[in-house]
């Protein structure tokens, strides 16, 4: 598929075509001058922000914990691959043949495309683009799938793959009593993998650590 046809599929025409090429290029591609990792980093944060905003308005009576669980469903690797396939992204990726069909690569590239659209325009254009394309899918996913938090997702994944469970421990507890900040480490001994999360409650810090570790494992 040519870039112009892909832009038609996106329903977005880039002013700076180099941004689109960068978003579609993995570092494994033999002729790459740049790759999508920086745009992926940016797109990850922007996508999370847009989804969080939509959830906040969509579910006015849900508490913070439930909103976080719904968001986890909408930005997990499986969902990102679904969005990527809707816009025909898979066949546009420039990458080495041995990783071309990777689900993790597909999800990461979708995030990089989000980052590229933002850099080519602004946050409001990106948010409108996401809503125009994926709001119906967000509604379907949030209403039709059971909500599982990051700790539950990580536990199920490690049990299935390695017959083991993550371990959590408090690393630090700082600040005055009315504004405590917890740092919690999530650790998988068999893989020697660790991630740390911070939050104003132990639960939030543990959820962040589990999210970071799950994304590291799946990348």
Distance (Å, whole) CA 11 – CA 130:
11
Annotated active-site residue 111? The verdict is yes
Long-range contacts of 154-158 (CB under 8 A, 24+ apart): 154/186, 154/210, 154/213, 154/214, 157/214, 157/217, 157/218, 158/188
pLDDT at 30: 64
Give span(s): CATH 3.30.160.20, the chain. 150-218
pTM of the predicted model as reported, rounded to 2 decimal places? 0.68
Among 35, 40, 111, 149, the active-site one is: 111
Tell me if residue 200 is catalytic.
no
Residue range(s) occupied by CATH 1.10.1520.10 in the chain = 3-144
- For the domain made up of 3-144, the CATH class stated in words is mainly alpha
**Which CATH entry fits the domain spanning 150-218: 3.30.365.10, 3.40.50.150, 3.30.160.20, 3.40.630.10?**
3.30.160.20
pLDDT band at 111 (very low <50, low <70, confident <90, very high): very high
With cut-offs at 50, 70 and 90, classify the pLDDT of residue 56.
very high
Q: How far apart are CA 129 and CA 135, in angstroms?
A: 10
pLDDT at 11: 93
The arithmetic mean of pLDDT across residues 207-214, rounded, is 90
Selecting among 22, 35, 44, 185, the annotated active-site residue is 44
Q: Which two tokens stand for residue 2?
A: 């040519």
Residue 148 has pLDDT above 70, yes or no: no
Q: Find out whether 46 and 122 touch, Cβ atoms under 8 Å.
A: no
């Amino acid at each position: 598929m040519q870039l112009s046809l892909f832009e038609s599929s996106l329903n977005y025409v880039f002013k700076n075509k180099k941004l689109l090429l960068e978003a579609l290029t993995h570092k494994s591609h033999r002729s790459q001058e740049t790759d999508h990792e920086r745009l992926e980093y940016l797109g990850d944060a922007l996508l999370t922000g847009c989804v969080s905003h939509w959830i906040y308005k969509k579910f006015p009576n849900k508490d913070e914990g439930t909103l976080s669980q719904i968001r986890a469903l909408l930005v997990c690797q499986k969902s990102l691959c679904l969005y990527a396939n809707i816009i025909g992204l898979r066949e546009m990726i420039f990458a080495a043949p041995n990783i071309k069909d990777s689900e993790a690569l597909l999800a990461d590239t979708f995030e990089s495309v989000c980052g590229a659209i933002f850099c080519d325009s602004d946050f409001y254009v990106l948010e409108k683009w996401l809503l125009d394309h994926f709001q119906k899918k967000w509604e379907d996913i949030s209403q039709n799938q059971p909500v599982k938090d990051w700790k539950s997702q990580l536990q199920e994944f490690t049990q299935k793959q390695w017959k083991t469970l993550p371990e959590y421990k408090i690393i630090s507890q700082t600040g005055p009593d009315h504004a405590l900040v917890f740092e919690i480490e999530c650790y998988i001994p068999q893989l020697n993998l660790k991630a740390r999360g911070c939050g104003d409650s132990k639960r939030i810090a543990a959820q962040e650590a589990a999210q970071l570790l799950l994304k590291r494992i799946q990348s």
